[in-house]
Structure 1
C-alpha cells in the first residue's frame, strides 16, 4: 500500500493538441495532465514494469473492491470539464470504477480489456468542477480492482456529438456463407472510429473507419437484413443506416438427404413425448434432424452424425399433435418429411402453479399490438399498436372487452417510428393509473423526434385527450428501445429503457438508458429510489418484461445480444451487468440473472405471473415459456408451450380475477413480415 505524495505533478498541454480526444470546447483554455503515480493511492502501488506509460510510472491497483487513486485537480473556473483516464487492462475482464468528484459519484466507468498491459487507451467522462481545488477519485467497485492507470487529463468537455447517418448499404460478392457489405461514409466532428453491423437487432460484425467489410460465418440460402451504425472514439453512436436486404447463395452441394423413416412415439405425458426414427442418408452427410408440426420446429438434434431420437418437451396438456421429422445437411438442403405420428397429450393434472390448458383466439385484425393494460374494473383493457402500417402516421389505442370486442379510442400525438418498416420504436407501453376512476389518467411510452418519451393522457372511457410529457431525453435507436410501462403494488410507475445501441449508457447512472425507472405520476423520482433519480436498477440491454409476484417482488425479462436472454429479479440500486456481462458472470458488484435462454429460443418481451409462475412471451423463439418461481430466489425448470404455433409472441398479461392470460402476437413486425392486420390476441386458461 502506498499513501501517495501530497501534490500532483501537472503538465500543461495545449488544448488544440487534444482536440481529437476531447472534442467540444469548454471552460478550460488548456488541458492539464495529472500523473497517477503522483496522486494519492490507496491499496495500490506505483509501478513501471510495463512499457508505454507517461511520466515516471503508473498505478497498479490491488485486486480488491475499494482500492482507489485520488487526484488533486485545480480548475480556473467553475464549469463542465472532460476527465480523460489513460489506462491499460491486459485481461478480458472489464474493471468498473466509480468516478467521484468532490465526494459525489459522477458515474461508474467500465474499463474493458485493451489487449495487453502495454496497450494504453483512454476513457472520458464529463463532470462539473468548482473554481480552485477539486478532488477526483477513481474507486474500484469490483473484486478485480481497477486497471493500470497512467494519468488523468482535465480539459475541455468530452465529445458528445454522434456521427452522421452512414450512407445506404449494399451487398456485393455474395457467397453461400459470406458477403461484402458496402456503405457510404459517416462524418463526425472528431472522426469516425468504427462501424457496427447489425442483422436486425443483433450485432454480427464491426469494421474500422472503412466503407466496406467482408462478413463471414453466414448460413447458406438465408436472408439477412443489414444496418450500419457509425461510432466515434468517445463511444457516440450514429442513427442507423437504411437496411440492405441480401440473401446468401445456396451451397455447391444441392443434393438433399433422403427422408427419415419409421417415426414412432413413446413415453407420452401431459407435457412431453419421445420420438425415434430411422436415419437418413446423404452424399456429404446429415448434420441435423428437426422435429416439426407443419413448418414449426419443436426440437433439433445435431451432431456428426446426429442422433435419431428426441424428447419433445413443453407440450400443452390435453391437446392434439401431429409431428414429423426432416433431415438437413451442412449446405442447408432439407429432406422430404418422414411419416407423421399423431397423438393427444393426457389431461391436465395438478402441479405447482398450474399449467396452460386451453388457448382461444378472442380478437384478430391487429397490426403489432404492443402494450396492454387493464382498467380498474377488470373488464376492459387498453391496447396499443406500435407502428400502424394500415394508416400511415397514426398510432392507435383501442379498448378491448373480455369477449374480445374492440373499439378505437384515439391516437397518441408526436409518435414517430425509428426506421421504415424495420425500427422497433413507435407507440409501445401503456399503463392505467390505479386511481383512474377519479383522475382518468393513462400513460404511454413512445418514440418522438428527439428520443423516447413517457407521457400522460386523459381517457374518459370513450376517447383520449390531452398530452403531457413526463419524461423525455431517453435515447432512441433502431433497436433497443425498451418500452414497457407498469404500475407496481407501491403505486409508482415503472418503465423499462433500452441502451439505445450505445451499450456504455447502461452502466452510466446519470443516463436514463439501459435502466428500470421508477417514478411518481408526475414523472418525478419516486421516494426511496436508490440514487435520488428516476433510476431504480441499471446495467440492462433491452428490458421489456415487468411483473410482480405475490410477495411484491419485481421480475424483469430482457433481450441478450447474441448469446443469452435473461429473467432477472430486480432489486433497487443493483447493477445487472450489461455490457460487461451477457447472462451470468463472476464480476463482483454485478447481479446474475435467475434464468437464461439461448437467444434463438427466447428473445423475450412481456412477462406475466399467475400463482407464482412467470409466463414469458418469446418473439424469435415463438413460444410461451413457463418458469416456476416459488418463494425463494431460485427458479424451477422452464418449459415451453405453443412452440411455433402462433408465431412471434409479444405481450402477455394476467386477466384480473381469473387464472387466465391474454397473449398477443406481433407477426406484422419487420421480423415476422406478415401482412398488416394479421396479428391476434388469445386467451390462455391456467389449470
Structure 2
C-alpha cells in the first residue's frame, strides 16, 4: 500500500542522480551500475520513485516511496540519512519512521532497493525534512481528528480528508491507519491524503491520529469504511501448490505445510493457517521470507487417526488478507 499527500504535486522529478548524489568520485562501475545489467548478468533494481519525507515529531521523520518492480522481486529497501544507512525494511513495505533524530535539524534521505538475489540498485532522488523545535514537558496529546471522509479514486486508490486537530503547542503530523496498521503520515498543515496501491472490490477501514512534537498521539477519529470499485481476482492473491503431510515426532503429531507465495509487488512475510475452518496459528517470516516455496510445521496433538482440513492465506502489502489456498485434508498418522 502506498499513501501520498493530497493534492498531487504538479510534476514528478525524473532522472535521480546516482553516484554524484552521494558525493562519490569512484567510477560508475563502483556503484554497481556498469550498464543495465549487473556483473552477474542480472538486471539491477531501479531507483525508487515518488520518495517523500515529512517530520513526524521533533525526533522522527516519516519516509515513503513507490514500490520497485523487478523480475527477481525486491527483498528489502535500504534507507540512508546522508551517506549513512539508517534503516532496512522488507520488500513488502514502502515506508519507515526514522527515529532518534535531533530537533530543529534538517536531514536528507535517499532509498535504494535490493532484490532477492542481493543486487543493490541506484539511490532515489534526495529529499529533505526539518524536525520542529522540541516541546519540553509536553504531555498533552492533540485532540482527535474529526469529520473523516473518503471516496474511492478509481479501483486502486482512495482520497481521505478530515478536520484539523488542536494542540497546546501545535500538531506536527497526522498518521493514517488502515485497520490496525499505520500506512502513511502527512505534515500537520495537511488535512487530506490519497492512499494508493489498493485492490479492486475490497473493503477498507481508515482512521487518522494527530501527533505533536513531543510524540504525543491523539485518539483515533471516527473510522471511515470504503470499498474500491471493480472485482478482486482473489485467486491471484492466494498461495498456490499447497501441500500438507502428517508427521510423528516425540509421541505427537505435526502437520508439515508447503506452498508457493502469491506474486505481489513486495515479499509476503505473514500468513494465517486455518485448521478445521478456524484460525489456528499465524507465522511471520523475517527479512529473508521465501518467494519460491515456503514451508512451515505446527503441532496438532497426540491422537492418531484424527482428520483435519487445512488451508492458509497471506497478508498482502496493502494490509488486507489475500485469498485462501486450496483446502487440503490430512489424517494424523496416515502421512499425506
TM-score range, shorter chain: 0.3 to 0.5
Larger radius of gyration: 1
Higher relative contact order (CA 8 A, sep 6+): 2
